[in-house]
Structure 1
Amino acid sequence: MESITLDVRTGGSPVVHDLTAECAAFCRDRGDGLLHVFVPHATAGVAIMETGAGSDDDLITALDELLPLDDRWVHRHGRPGHGRDHVVPAFIAPSMSVPVLAGRMTLGTWQSVCLVDTNTDNPNRQVRLSFLPG
């Protein structure tokens, strides 16, 4: 298995960060197999979704509505509502696998691999990409 770690700066607001270009570059010339994407953080996840047409903003809005930033959360440290960030990975999983054929991810036309990060207390993230040859 081959593996690398990406360092991603997500900034000070909840974000859907497109990782597709980095994933494609990692898979290039590797043949057939699986790309595994993993975020080793308790407050972030990865998703396959359309970006750039508003869906990324819609996801953040939906998470804000489903998991409000208020004082209802038992997990309390950091900014108010931070406990919700620890619930996000139950909805947006911290890992995924994508089939790769001839060095290319088999994503659909509008699909992108994205890091979803609602935790503004930690703007520095790591994403591990691993390739399992088939």
Structure 2
Amino acid sequence: MDTEIRHCRTGDADSVLDLTDDCAAFASSRGSGLLHVFVPHATAGIAILETGAGSDDDLLAALSDLLPADDRWRHQHGSRGHGRSHVMPALVAPYATVPVLDGQLALGRWQSICLVDLNADNGERDVRLSFLVSAR
């Protein structure tokens, strides 16, 4: 298994960061197999969705409706509503696995691989990309 860490800056606001180009570059010379994308943080997730047509903003709006940034959360250190960030990975998993065929991500036409981050207290993220070679 080949693996490497990518460092990302998500900033101090809710964000959806498109990782597709980084993922494609990582997988491009590795043949066929599976790309596993994992974010080793308790307050971030990986989503496969359309970006650029409003779906990324719609996802953030839906998460805001489901997980309001208020004082209802028992986990209450950090900024107001920080506890919601610790619940979010139960809804947006911290990983995704994508087939790779001859070095190309086998995504649908409008699919992108994205880092989802609601934690305004930590604007620096690591993403682990791992490539598992298919058995022949």
Match of 1:94 in 2: 94
Total equivalences in the alignment:
134
What does residue range 100-119 of structure 1 map to in structure 2 within 5 Å? 100-119=100-119
* Residue identity opposite 2:108 in structure 1: G
Q: Deviation digits for residues 52-80 of structure 1, max 9, x if unmatched? A: 01000010010000110111101110011
Asked whether 1:130 is paired with 2:130, we answer yes
| Corresponding residue SS for 2:98 | strand
| Unmatched 5+ stretches in structure 2 | none
Q: Deviation digits for residues 53-112 of structure 1, max 9, x if unmatched? A: 100001001000011011110111001110000000000000111000000110000000
Match of 1:9 in 2: 9
Match of 1:59 in 2: 59
Match of 1:34 in 2: 34
Distance of 2:10 and 2:80 partners within structure 1: 19
How big is the alpha-carbon RMSD for the aligned residues of Structure 1 and Structure 2?
0.4
* Residue identity opposite 2:57 in structure 1: D
Distance of 2:32 and 2:67 partners within structure 1: 39
Give the TM-score taking structure 2 as reference length.
0.98
Distance of 2:120 and 2:75 partners within structure 1: 16
Distance of 2:13 and 2:72 partners within structure 1: 21
Give the TM-score taking structure 1 as reference length.
0.99
Q: Deviation digits for residues 23-46 of structure 1, max 9, x if unmatched? A: 000000211100000000000000
| Corresponding residue SS for 1:37 | strand
Distance of 2:9 and 2:69 partners within structure 1: 22
Distance of 1:128 and 1:12 partners within structure 2: 21
| Corresponding residue SS for 1:89 | helix
| Corresponding residue SS for 1:87 | helix
Match of 1:79 in 2: 79
* Residue identity opposite 1:6 in structure 2: R
* Residue identity opposite 1:4 in structure 2: E
| Unmatched 5+ stretches in structure 1 | none
